Amino acid sequence: MILINEQNNAMHAIIRTNIVKNFKPLLQEGKLYELSYFQVVDGNALYRPVDNDFKIMFTLKISIKEIKETDVDIPRHKFEFVNYNKIHERVNKHVQLSDIIANVIGVGPIEQPCIKGSNVLMKNINVMTVEGNEIKLTLWGLVANQVEESYFTENPGPFIIIATCLNVKTFKGEYTLSSTSGTRVYIDLDIPETAEFKNQ
């Protein structure tokens, strides 16, 4: 998971598989919590969802208290959008996963190519970045179902897409963005960056 504090700092947090059942009923995306007695450890060497050298580790001693009424202003979302001109630095590096905001210019159907002997869900989306560069975004597995094709036929554009935790790859000399198990996709999310992009 990704946690955000009142200073708008984001941090990766994990719960080990053997104790996740203790905490899953206590945590819900978008709610506020006060956490105490957790561990701070070195961040992942690879596939970091946020740019932070540390991460939070839940232990059985952690205290979790939901905050229902507070004057603390904590944002609902936190993104670290990669500039297109920096994408080449992340090709096949897998250290820092990438977030993008882009304009949707084409949406392909769900496909099921055979990868290593198994059929996998896949959806390709052609997008244009803020800098005006076209790039292909490929969503794999269950992530492909996060984008409903009907949204694009039933609503007026432009459509601004935000996709998180992406790998940067190349295919036939072109940059491509590929989803991971941590990828979340948002269409026309109500944040200032979306409004600014649409105005542009």
Token pair 């905490």: residue: 23
What six digits make up the tokens of 45?
Answer: 């060497």
Per-residue pLDDT for the chain (200 aa), expressed as one digit of tens each? 999 998 889 999 999 999 999 998 899 998 999 999 999 999 988 899 999 999 999 999 999 999 887 778 888 899 999 999 888 888 988 889 999 999 999 999 889 988 888 888 999 999 999 999 999 999 999 999 888 888 888 888 899 999 999 999 998 888 999 999 999 999 999 999 999 998 88
CATH of the structural domain 84-199, one choice from 2.40.70.10, 3.40.50.10470, 2.40.50.140, 3.40.50.620: 2.40.50.140
